[in-house]
Each structure stands twice: as structure tokens, then as C-alpha cells.
Structure 1
Amino acid sequence: MILSVWTLGLLLVTFGGAHGHTNFPANFVVAKRNDPHPVTLTCNTQTEEGVSWRLDGEEVELDNYVQMEGPNLKISEVDAPMLGEYSCWRGGTMLSSTYLFQELEEDVALDSLLNCRAKSYDCNFTCSWRDSRFTAVRLGLGHDCSEGQRSCRWETSGGGHVGELQFVLPHSLSPYAEESTTLELTAEAINTFYILRRTKTFYLRDIIQPDSPQIVRCQEVGHELNVTLDPPPSWSTPHSFFSLEYEIEYEMKDDGKVIESSFSTLIPKKISKLRVRSRDSLVLSAWSQWTAWQNVNH
């Protein structure tokens, strides 16, 4: 049965389709909506003899928008009815296949889809993907990824529910040198027929957020309490070079629920409990999460 791509398009689901890709196809082409330039799909063959094309298993009928150019297929004015998996055949043998996506034109910044954080200045950082509409997501660093080059080293999620994807991206920045080079992060996300591509640049220092510090001990010093704190185990070393500042919140015994804070490790002695958070003291990074409240008995 020969089915034109326009007729077949009536059978396709929209962006929110139930069946999406769990991995990126090995070969795919991205078309832009209303692009006057045609898209060419390449057949992996050395000869034109006996070559035909199918879209999602149905033989493609040639028309004004879909034409053969040698063994390859040229598609003009790509729209939803023309998206899907194209395969090139000779008789009953499939020679190659290419998935045709359309770029999703959505005015959304990458920051609203992705949250990245570095616990330290060491060799990697993590990103969390927030948008559950997509069924496969990958991230890459560098110009090769932003330009969609095959040389890009993509990082894919190690698992988890869609919308809760976690990525670890290695970088080659020196933790001891003044940071003058930005990181260029590209995200690609796909569903059944659409692909979203976004790129952002940032300094590693922009996403630094230490883990919560460690409360070692509280020691009375005259009329005050000296709180000894240690950086989190994940923080960069040596700590004399990668310094942290701390904020202590505490509750006074006599004031009930009144919470006060201090950036000094010397605090009033008559407190009932405290908690602490930290940040990079040089770049004034994002604060860590607070530690759990700790009761003070003295």
C-alpha cells in the first residue's frame, strides 16, 4: 500500500504522543519549520537501482514536496505529517534509516529546563533535567556539541524517571587557576517527532554550591560558645586555598522560637540549638543547604 506523507500525517500523534524515544536514533536529521531549504535524507548505497523509501513502514509516494535525487530523498516544507523514521530499501532489504525530527520552536531558556550544580572545583559537576515532556535527553560540553558535530561527546542519563534525570559532566578546568574560560553546555531533548536544542555558557564558579558543612563541636569560651566547623568531605582541597565562610543560626534558650544568626563562630552561650550553612568565601557562591538542627547541651 502506497501512502502519501500528507495522508499518513493525519494518523500521527502530536508532541505529547504516548510513544517517544528512550534513546537518540543513530542517524537523524533536524528540520526547521517554514525553512525554504529542503532536507536531504541519504540512502546508504552506491547505486540507484531498485531503491525505494518508506516512512514508518509505509512506502513513500513522490509528489511536489517529496522527490528522489539519485538514491536520496529530498523533502521540502517539512511539517508534522512528514516526520518519523525514513528507511531506504532495495527489494526486501533495508539499506539504511534516518529519523526526521522537527526543531521545537519554543521560547524557553535552558535555565528553566535544567539545573546544574558543582559541589566543588573538582573535575565534574551534575545537572538535573526538569521537563517531563521529553523521553530522551543528552548533554554535551564544548563547541562541537553546540554545532551538532559528530565529534561531540554526549552524556546521557544513567536512569531514573523522566523529569528526574541526573547527569554528571566532566570538565577540564584547572581548580587552581583564575577562571577565564566559560563552559558551553548544550542540551538536546526529543519526543516522538520533535527535538529541543538549547545552549548556554557560564563559569564554573556560577554553579558552585557546597554540600552542608560539618559541626565538629561546641566549646564554652568565657561567656560565649565557640563552634568548630569543618568543610564538607566533598569540598575542594587544600581548604586553606579553597576557603569557606559559614552562617550559624541559633535559638536562644530564653527567647523560645526567636531565631538569630551569626557569621562568626563565636555565638552566645545560652542557646538551645543551632544549624549551619556554608559558601565559597571568594566568589560568594550559592549557600549550601542548612545542616539539621543540633541541640546544644551545656
Structure 2
Amino acid sequence: MTFETQSGPALSQYFFSQDHELLESLDKRTREHEFSKLAASNTPQHTREMRHTLNIISLLCLCTMKVSDTFPDKLIVGKSGGSVTLRCPPATEPTVTWKHDNTELPQNETTLTFTDFDTDLTGNFTCWKKDEFLDYTYILLDMSHEQSLQITCTAETLNCSYNISCRMNNVNIPNLKVFRLRYEWDDNGWVLPSEDGTFHLTHFTNPYAEEHKRLKVVGEAMSLNYYYTSRYDFYLRDIIKPGCPTLSVAKGVIDLSPPGIWPSPPSYYPLENEIQCEWRSNGERSTCRLDSGAAVPEDVSMLRVRCRDPLLLSQWSEWTPWQNVGRRRQKKNREKGQRVGKKGHHNRKQTQRVGK
């Protein structure tokens, strides 16, 4: 059993040349010089030389990226022990030359079939008409039945338009190079991960409507020889993880605001806050029963907060950074004490004068 996917960059990113040293020797200036020189001549000999040079230039472009850098346009995934069939559709003659990576194969028919498929038959297959490149197909061995991708997703809000953030956790699968993700119903909507490995899927919904259908995403990953896929379905309400709330302290009073993209009104979309305090007296950090509008205790030096949806019992948001509080109050108290001390000293002097 095999299946084919067609999505990704152009063919030039997947082909490997067997004449690598020659290609490396052709720098940009040399290629431009040879191209202009041969193009100026129309003799058969020069025409053949020009075609050969153009082939080399094309092969150099085809070698700019390794196959493991992204998904090939033409990818066939084969099952272990099954059969895989390759075709060379551009061929106009009954015989062609097949190559597996850099090795020429004995078969010369335009259709190439492998039985009892396994790892040794994975890789890049190309077909040629003499020295003319015709087509390519990359084959991988499907390992999804042995090890599946672990997909997790979160969403920060129930708003009409938002991003679903997903990750693939595959610590037990070695040498994975490429990942992509899409909604199951969107065959052409593959999303690649950002630099931190997160996939961002855009979704649209009515935040006031009841959720009836589960969202389904499909993930794929590949190494040099193997292919993995997995599906993950969920209700949006089950993956909510709000963004961080806003914490501010003014005149010793705590003020909390919901994340900027959290829907309103608060009576319909409430948030539960948890505040942690660092105590000045012993340096310990613990949960303190405070909320918006509460006064900061005298012994608290720093605060941080996180939130969640109490109706959905959603995941907690990330903690806000620790925020220093109370230092100004402590300074004011010291200044007040100093003023009281000076006033007492002045009163004692007046009493002494009166006694005299």
C-alpha cells in the first residue's frame, strides 16, 4: 500500500548529483562566462556543449538543499513488505535510465516496481533519457505504526479569530528533520513550524455558539529514510490556555486585567487569578489569597500572577514575571520614622528649656 503527497518546494531542492566535485568547481562567474560564450555560437558541437553545461548548471541548482530540509513535492510512502511503483511520465521512449540516489539501476522500463519494500529501497529515484533528466520521486518507509507523533495544542482565547498553537513532542523518535501540520479537511494548508518549533493554525469561530464538532489536525514528520504521521482531534474548549493577565500595583493596591485578547464581558467569560508572593521576612514564595483591589501586605516584596477559565477549568496561563512591590512604602515608612524621631527630639529640647 502506498500513497502520494504533493505539497512543498520545487524539485530543485531534492535532487543529488553524482558529479559533486565538478559542480563545486563551477562558481557563479564561471557559469555565467560559459553560458554567454556557448550561447553566442550556433554550431552543433557548441549546441551539445551548451546543453551539457546547462545540465551541469541545473544539477548545481538541484543540489543546493538536502532532501531532509523539507518535504519533497513528489513523495511516495511505502509500507514495509509491500510494493512500490514508480513511473517516469515525461518519457517519450520505451526505455529510460533509472538511478537510485547516485547508483544506476539495471531496469530501463518507464515503470519501476519494487516488491517486499524496506529501508534499503528508500531515497531519491530519478529517471533519465540518456543525459537528460526527466523526473524524480522520493520514497520513504512508513513507520507510523511503530512510533506515532505526539501532538499537543493550545489556544489563548475563544474569540472569533485566533491562533491555535501546536507542538510535536517526539523525544523517542531519533533523527527527525522535517515537520508539518494542517487541518484534516485542508489538503493544501500545510503549516511549517516557527523557529521555536510551534505550529500556528488560524481558526475562526463564534465565541457565543455551542461547540458541536471536534477540530482535527494531521501531523507529518520525516527523516532521511522514514515517514511518520499522526492525527489529533479536540474541542476548542478543551485546549484553552489563556495568555498572561496584566498586573500593576498603584499606591499599594493590586490591579489585575485580563489578557488583551480575552473575550468580554467578564460576567460571561470570567477568569480566576492566582497570585504568588515573596515574603521579605524569610524570602519564601507561596500562594497568597489576594485579588484585584486588595492591598499588598507590608511583608511582601514581590508578586506574580496567572489565570484560568474557572468554568472550563482550563489550563493555567504562564506566570507573569515577578514584580517588585512595597519598596516605596518601606522607604516612606523609614522617612516617616525619621520625621517622628526628629519631632520627639525637638520636643525634648523644648521640655529641657521649660525646666530651666
Q: Is this contact kept in 2: 1:130–1:165, CA < 8 A? A: no
Indicate the SS of the match to 2:164: strand
| Count of equivalent residues | 255
Cα distance change on mapping 1:257 and 1:156 into 2, 3 Å: closer
Q: Is this contact kept in 1: 2:81–2:115, CA < 8 A? A: no
Q: Which residue of 1 aligns with 2:183?
A: 141
One-letter amino acid of the structure 2 residue matched with residue 232 of structure 1:
P
Tell me, in whole angstroms, the C-alpha distance in 2 between the residues paired with 1:116 and 1:256. 36
Q: Is 1:167 paired with 2:199?
A: yes
Q: Which residue of 2 aligns with 1:96?
A: 135
Cα distance change on mapping 1:208 and 1:77 into 2, 3 Å: same
1:258 Cα offset (Å): 6.1
1:239 Cα offset (Å): 4.4
Q: Of 271, 285, 292, which residue of structure 1 is paired with 2:314?
A: 285
Q: Which residue of 1 aligns with 2:242?
A: 210
Tell me, in whole angstroms, the C-alpha distance in 2 between the residues paired with 1:29 and 1:293. 51
Cα distance change on mapping 1:187 and 1:55 into 2, 3 Å: same
Q: Of 56, 74, 83, which residue of structure 2 is paired with 1:27?
A: 74
- Structure 1 stretch 284-293 or stretch 260-269: which is displaced more? 260-269
Higher helix share: 2
TM-score, scaled to structure 1? 0.74
Indicate the SS of the match to 1:100: strand
Tell me, in whole angstroms, the C-alpha distance in 2 between the residues paired with 1:109 and 1:74. 28
Q: Of 210, 233, 249, which residue of structure 1 is paired with 2:276?
A: 249
Q: Is this contact kept in 1: 2:86–2:112, CA < 8 A? A: yes
Which has the higher relative contact order, 1 or 2, with Cα contacts under 8 A spaced 6 or more apart?
Answer: 1
Q: Which residue of 2 aligns with 1:176?
A: 208
1:34 Cα offset (Å): 2.2
Q: Is this contact kept in 1: 2:96–2:127, CA < 8 A? A: yes
Cα distance change on mapping 1:156 and 1:254 into 2, 3 Å: closer
Q: Which residue of 1 aligns with 2:84?
A: 39
TM-score, scaled to structure 2? 0.63
1:85 Cα offset (Å): 0.9
1:264 Cα offset (Å): 4.5
Q: Is this contact kept in 2: 1:110–1:200, CA < 8 A? A: no
Q: Which residue of 2 aligns with 1:223?
A: none
Q: Is this contact kept in 1: 2:126–2:135, CA < 8 A? A: yes
Tell me, in whole angstroms, the C-alpha distance in 2 between the residues paired with 1:255 and 1:57. 69
Superposed CA offset, 1:27-77 (max 9, x none): 010001123xx2111222364523232211322224xxxx95xx2211111
Quick one: percent identity of the two aligned structures? 32
1:182 Cα offset (Å): 1.2
Indicate the SS of the match to 2:94: coil
- Structure 1 stretch 270-279 or stretch 26-35: which is displaced more? 270-279
Q: Of 179, 184, 188, which residue of structure 2 is paired with 1:152?
A: 188
1:214 Cα offset (Å): 0.9
Tell me, in whole angstroms, the C-alpha distance in 1 between the residues paired with 2:115 and 2:306. 57
Q: Which residue of 1 aligns with 2:94?
A: 49
Tell me, in whole angstroms, the C-alpha distance in 1 between the residues paired with 2:192 and 2:281. 54
Q: Which residue of 2 aligns with 1:188?
A: 220
Tell me, in whole angstroms, the C-alpha distance in 2 between the residues paired with 1:212 and 1:249. 14
Q: Please tell me whether Structure 1 or Structure 2 has the larger radius of gyration of its CA atoms.
A: 2
Q: Gaps spanning 5+ residues in structure 1: where?
A: 1-18, 145-150, 221-225
Tell me, in whole angstroms, the C-alpha distance in 2 between the residues paired with 1:242 and 1:80. 53
Pairwise CA RMSD: 2.8
Indicate the SS of the match to 1:89: strand
Q: Is this contact kept in 2: 1:250–1:271, CA < 8 A? A: no
Q: Which residue of 1 aligns with 2:303?
A: 274
Tell me, in whole angstroms, the C-alpha distance in 2 between the residues paired with 1:219 and 1:73. 79
Q: Is this contact kept in 1: 2:249–2:325, CA < 8 A? A: no
One-letter amino acid of the structure 2 residue matched with residue 136 of structure 1:
V
Q: Is this contact kept in 2: 1:212–1:232, CA < 8 A? A: yes
Q: Of 155, 167, 188, which residue of structure 2 is paired with 1:118?
A: 155
Tell me, in whole angstroms, the C-alpha distance in 2 between the residues paired with 1:275 and 1:104. 45
Higher strand share: 1
Tell me, in whole angstroms, the C-alpha distance in 2 between the residues paired with 1:260 and 1:166. 31
Q: Of 75, 78, 82, which residue of structure 1 is paired with 2:117?
A: 78
